[in-house]
A and B are shown apart, each in its own frame.
Chain A
Amino acid sequence: MDKKIKGIEFLIALFRMIKIKNLHASIEGTEILRGINLEVKAGEVHAIMGPNGSGKSTLASVLAGRDEYEVTEGSVDFLDEDLLDMEPEDRSRAGLFLAFQYPVEIPGVSNINFLKTAINEAREKRGEDPMAAKDFLKRVKEKSKLVELDGRLANRSVNEGFSGGEKKRNEIFQMAMLDPKLSVLDETDSGLDIDALRIVANGVNELKTKDNASIVITHYQRLLDYIVPDYVHVLYKGKIVKTGPKELALELEEKGYEWIFKELEAVSA
């Protein structure tokens, strides 16, 4: 990355969270992402919408470092570092958080113990002392309240026997515990009833500050009633084909995606 940035460019870079440039990625030889460009700054919420198979979850997976995907072209700068060069754990420690579409059940692994390890390993990397047990428990109490996650659930094995809604609330609970700079929420709304959706969205909103940012990936506009985005992007065949203000989401809900694809065809014809 070119470090010789001056004046106004320096200020922009300071607020820039992530810059995705011409990102191509494939799985088992099939190209899924075909040149994604996206820039997110601190304090912003970006929504990514699109039909099934458009590459939404692939984008989330590539950002988090899932190794089944091969990045064939492009770059991702995250807080002035080459994200694609980092191990998944280093991405997390640098401040990236992926809320999984399908949170994994891990029997025998305590939710709390593993979060404690995660937080303390990150602190160790930064040369800080481990978090005091008292402070940690205080934070658990505070953050589990935020997503109305029963204290008993927080202490159980990771996601084991959790309902769909509890799993998603646990994702946001973990997000709150880890306090990331950039959160990628991968279809966090899928399968949620309206109460769970409200709780999850409320958690995300409560955690929003001028110093962090979110990318909200969703299939439905419904979530965006609760988490209001600054920008809405439409992903189609591995590319962002349209970007607009929050109203774009409503338009998509009403008219579907077809009109955008027709527009596209008209342009390319």
Chain B
Amino acid sequence: MEVMNETVTLTNKDKFLSHFDLIDFSMDEDFSSDARKEAMELIQWLDFPTSKAEYWKYTRVNKIIKGNYKVSAPENEIEIDLSVPSKNCIVLINGYFSEELSFFDKTEGIEFSSLSDAKKSNSILGEKFNSLVKKDEIFADINSAYHQDGAFMHVAKNVQVEEPYYILNLVDDSNIVSNPRNFIFIEQGANAKAVLKTINTGNTGSFTNMVSEIFVEKNAQFEINKIQDEAEDSFQIATEQVVQGDDSTFKINTFTLNGAIVRNNLNIDSLGKNTMTYLNGLYPLKGKQHVDNHTYLLHREPNGESHELYKGIMGDSSTGVFNGKVFVHKEAQKTNAFQSNANIVMTDTATINSKPELEIYADDVKCSHGSTTGQLDKEALFYLRARGLSKDSARAVLVNAFASDVIEHIGVEAVKDEIEKYIDDNYHGIK
């Protein structure tokens, strides 16, 4: 880092980056140190986005970057019930790996560990680490430069595993800034599932800047369920960079339950032929939450299929942003791409900005996109009330029904139960 003259006024960027000054990266492996150096270089040339940048038009990052944060590895023991329906769980606390809380069940053909452990020995990492991240995105670069730790998952060729692998990201202090970094590699013909969950333990004013690189090789299948449950005044920017090989299937379900500002950057590069991609999202918002889902799906090769379904339930004074772009390369003939964003606006003060986009350069494709925003169906509400359901119950029943086709996509029973319960509890649903 440059040495600052004390009389020089610090920019927002300098102030923000100074939070990371005290982290010691000297033990890092060479390839990772190189990646950090490269990212730090890039950051020098980049600025935080303003609303003038199309990609960030509806989400202002000012509040995020002006926070007064600290980087801190937890010292005290954490009392939290982390019971997950899995024998494999990596726990990160404030971005640091918790050996104490994590647990593993060694399975033939599956490597599941902290990223820092994997960096020491894994050759795939040496070769592929930081290869997918977009270099011109400052938040992704900040993660590349300053990440403390994260999860590493490698499923070997043709290994099939039904049990979900859990990555829990705990923020266990106030005003924590962290850069969790995950690397997932699913080899040819393998099949696996993961759950990536951010948990708030009742603290305030934190910022999680997470990046996950995900490789789904030829004929492999991978499903990831992302649950974002930040504190209500905390921030999260989550970036997933995904590549898919021939005949592979990738599914991501994103559930944004809490957080003041949550931004998801989902970038899928469908490099292979005959790929199948599912992008689903549900954002039941309340208070002054602001949730922005940006998805980018690139079909490069023929016979790919993608289904995108994002649904929002906008309460109170919440704001939702959906920007989904599907790009069909001219080589990608016979692509089927379907995209849908539906929103229920429950109040006069909630807002949604929805922009589905298709950019198609092939001539033999089936693509559709649609966006609907409305209130709960008045006829249906009246019908249910006329049969004796209270107004609250009738609304809850309709909200449940609205969310159900996203929830149906969840391939992990425990996650399905959790999201259903969340909707039930928050909208007084029927049991």
Contacts and interface: CB of A to CB of B under 8 A. Distances in A.
A87 B388 CA distance: 10
B384 A98 contact: no
Given A104-B380, A107-B401, A121 B385 contact: no
A228 interface: no
Q: Which secondary structure characterizes the binding site on chain B?
A: helix
Nearest to A66: B382
Contacts of A87: 385, 391
Contact of B391 (A89, A100, A103): A89
A243 interface: no
Interface residues of A, number: 31
B400 A108 contact: yes
A88 B385 contact: yes
Interface in A75-97: 87-89, 91-93
**Quick one: which of A98, A103, A121, A122 has the most chain B CB within 10 A?**
A121
Contacts of B405: 108
23 contacts: A64-B386, A67-B382, A87-B385, A88-B385, A89-B385, A89-B394, A92-B387, A93-B388, A103-B383, A104-B379, A104-B383, A106-B398, A109-B397, A109-B398, A113-B430, A114-B384, A114-B387, A114-B389, A117-B397, A119-B388, A121-B389, A158-B383, A174-B387
Given A88-B382, A109-B380, A116-B430, 9 more contacts: A64-B386, A67-B382, A89-B385, A89-B389, A108-B400, A109-B397, A109-B401, A117-B430, A118-B387
B278 interface: no
Q: Please provide the 4 A-B residue pairs with the shortest distance between their CB atoms, ordered closest to farther.
A: A108-B401, A92-B388, A118-B388, A88-B385
A229 interface: no
A88 B430 contact: no
A92 B404 contact: no
Contacts of B382: 66-67, 88
B390 interface: yes
B397 A89 contact: no
A65 B386 contact: yes
B402 interface: yes
A93 B377 CA distance: 22
Interface in B401-416: 401-402, 404-405
B393 interface: yes
A108 B430 CA distance: 12
**Quick one: which of A118, A119, A121, A158 has the most chain B CB within 10 A?**
A118
Given A88-B385, A113-B430, A117-B397, A106 B390 contact: no
A36 interface: no
Nearest to B403: A108
B409 to A, nearest CB: 14
A108 to B, nearest CB: 3
Nearest to A157: B401
A28 to B, nearest CB: 15
Interface string A108-136: 11000111111101100000000000000
B398 A88 contact: no
Nearest to A93: B388
**Quick one: which of B379, B383, B404, B405 has the most chain A CB within 10 A?**
B383
A178 interface: yes
Contacts of A67: 382
